[in-house]
């Protein structure tokens, strides 16, 4: 049963407001994810919930979708900026604003890597092969997801 406010049109729910109680850890993770994506907490939670619900209806992703998710990454300008900032950090010339930007990029990169690893695991299970063997098949070095 849905509690909260629901907007209906011709008897069908078109949108709803839902209150969710999160643990402090989950709330912090949601906030960091929202910040890295440049969205608000409510929008991020709504998108995540929609993704989970859609996946539960459509079933697990197929090989083509998993491969696309594994291949997803940053565009060259984003990588260039990340490397520029890490270089400044190593040379100790990073400003406070740049440090904050680097922290956000690093967190975003970690999230993408964890999503990539989850997709690799799902694909290895789908194919019935060990993760290390799949990564060798796809020419993905172990260090790229660590």
On whether the pTM is more than 0.75, the answer is: no
Mean pLDDT confidence for 18-39: 79
Query: Which of 59, 74, 108 marks a domain boundary?
Result: 59
What span, in angstroms and rounded, lies between the C-alpha atoms of 101 and 86?
Answer: 11
123-146 confidence digits (pLDDT tens): 999 999 999 999 999 999 877 665
Say if residue 75 is in the same domain as residue 131. Answer: yes
- Cβ atoms of 4 and 18 closer than 8 Å: yes
At how many degrees (to 10) do helices 96-127 and 63-71 cross? 160
Structural domain containing residue 28: 1-59
63-122 confidence digits (pLDDT tens): 999 999 999 999 999 999 999 999 999 999 999 999 999 999 999 999 999 999 999 999
Say if residue 87 is in the same domain as residue 117. Answer: yes
Say if residue 53 is in the same domain as residue 1. Answer: yes
Domains identified in the chain, total number: 2
Say if residue 97 is in the same domain as residue 131. Answer: yes
Say if residue 23 is in the same domain as residue 88. Answer: no
């Amino acid at each position: 049963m849905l509690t909260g406010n629901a907007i209906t049109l011709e008897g069908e729910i078109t949108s709803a407001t839902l209150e969710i109680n999160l643990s402090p850890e989950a709330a912090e993770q949601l906030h960091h994810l929202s910040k890295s994506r440049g969205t608000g907490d409510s929008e991020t939670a709504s998108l995540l919930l929609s993704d989970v619900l859609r996946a539960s209806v459509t079933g697990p992703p197929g090989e083509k979708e998993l491969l696309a998710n594994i291949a997803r990454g940053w565009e060259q300008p984003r990588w260039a900026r990340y490397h520029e900032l890490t270089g400044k950090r190593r040379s100790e010339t990073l400003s406070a604003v740049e440090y904050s930007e680097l922290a956000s990029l690093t967190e975003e990169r970690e999230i993408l890597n964890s999503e990539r690893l989850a997709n690799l695991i799902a694909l290895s299970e789908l194919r019935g092969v060990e993760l290390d063997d799949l990564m060798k098949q796809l020419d993905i070095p172990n260090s790229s997801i660590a």
